[in-house]
């Protein structure tokens, strides 16, 4: 059977008449993205998508150990656990870092960004949680610089490397959102949604749960995400830090789990 590529060009042309066209020239690259007006929603959907190549799928944020311990055995357990992370753990802390990074980037406050990055890198409570934040942060800056042509991301990565400061995802993503001029409310909610959705996906695979259970969890977490994002924007100078102690302990114990699927 002939494929669509076997048809004559004239047979395909009417399908695409009137559609916006993107250049597929061999030299099309980051400059093509910079030349077009930025579409905030388009960027946010891409940058927080599971397909964005920062390796988020390989981290469970300690959830794998919690499943092993029996602390997470149902969809309700998973939802409550992630809600705790959002309200009292990395969700709350990283939302604050992302807000401050976005505002510092928009204000061209390079020294402020470096100081913020140093603080964020120091607050990881476990080696694997540090790996999770730092590897994803570095990959985020690299992908946005090379794939989306955001030169500030490459410059920031170079300054961090020169200062010996590892990038974290919250600061990297917040700063890139600020440089790209993304609406702050959308940016913070999208980042928190991406964090929560990735953990739901990990839980669905680990417990295991059905995909519908996973969607119920994401739906239930929506108001929590909105509240945490709004609070982070109202109080950007709030001292960073969390009190999700059980989650921190499971992250520490995950480092010695004999057989595992995830890196954190």
Residue-wise pLDDT for 33-77, tens only, equals 333 335 889 999 999 998 899 998 898 888 999 999 999 999 999
Residue 83 lies in a domain: yes
Task: Kindly state whether residue 33 falls inside one of the protein's structural domains.
Answer: no
Spatial neighbors of 148 by CB under 8 A, at least 6 apart, are 30, 33, 43
Contact 81, 247 (CB under 8 A): yes
Q: Which residues, 6 or more positions from 39, have their beta carbon under 8 angstroms from its beta carbon?
A: none
Number of domains the chain contains: 1
Distances (CA, A) of 200 to 28, 79, 133: 36, 8, 18
Give a yes or no: residue 199 inside a domain.
yes
Give yes or no for residue 213 having a pLDDT over 80: yes
Please check whether residue 151 lies inside any domain of the structure.
yes
Residue 144: inside a domain, yes or no? Answer: yes
pLDDT the model gives residue 33 = 32
In 3-state terms, what secondary structure has residue 172?
helix
- The CATH number covering residue 245 comes to 1.10.4190.10
| pTM of the complete model | 0.84
Per the structure, the complete domain to which residue 208 belongs is given by 61-254
Q: What is the pLDDT of residues 221-258, one digit of tens each?
A: 999 999 999 999 999 888 877 777 888 888 888 888 77
In a domain, 69, yes or no: yes
In a domain, 214, yes or no: yes
pLDDT confidence of 79, banded at 50, 70, 90?
Answer: very high
Residue 21 belongs to some domain of the structure = no
The mean pLDDT value of the chain amounts to: 85
- 3-state per-residue secondary structure call for 28-63: CCHHHHHHCCCCHHHHHHHHCCCCCCCCHHHCCCCH
């Amino acid at each position: 059977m002939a494929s669509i590529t076997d048809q004559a060009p004239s047979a395909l042309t009417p399908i695409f008449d009137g559609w916006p066209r993107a250049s597929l020239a061999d030299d099309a690259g980051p400059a093509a993205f910079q030349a077009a007006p930025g579409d905030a929603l388009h960027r946010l959907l891409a940058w927080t998508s599971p397909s964005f190549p920062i390796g988020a799928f390989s981290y469970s944020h300690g959830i794998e150990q919690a499943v092993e311990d029996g602390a997470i055995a149902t969809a309700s357990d998973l939802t409550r656990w992630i809600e705790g992370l959002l309200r009292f753990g990395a969700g709350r802390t990283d939302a604050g870092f992302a807000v401050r990074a976005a505002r510092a980037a928009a204000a061209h406050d390079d020294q402020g960004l470096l100081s913020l990055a140093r603080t964020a890198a120091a607050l990881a409570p476990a080696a694997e949680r540090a790996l999770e934040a730092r590897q994803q942060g570095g990959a985020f800056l690299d992908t946005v610089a090379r794939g989306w042509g955001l030169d500030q991301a490459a410059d920031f990565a170079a300054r961090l490397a020169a200062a010996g400061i590892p990038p974290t995802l919250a600061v990297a993503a917040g700063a890139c959102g600020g440089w790209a001029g993304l609406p702050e409310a959308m940016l913070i909610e999208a980042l928190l949604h991406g964090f929560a959705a990735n953990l739901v996906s990990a839980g669905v695979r680990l417990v295991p749960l059905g995909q519908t259970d996973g969607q119920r969890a994401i739906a239930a977490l929506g108001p929590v995400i909105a509240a945490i994002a709004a609070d982070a924007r109202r109080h950007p100078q709030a001292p960073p830090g969390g009190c999700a102690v059980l989650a921190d302990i499971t992250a520490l114990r995950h480092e010695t789990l004999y057989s595992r699927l995830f890196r954190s």
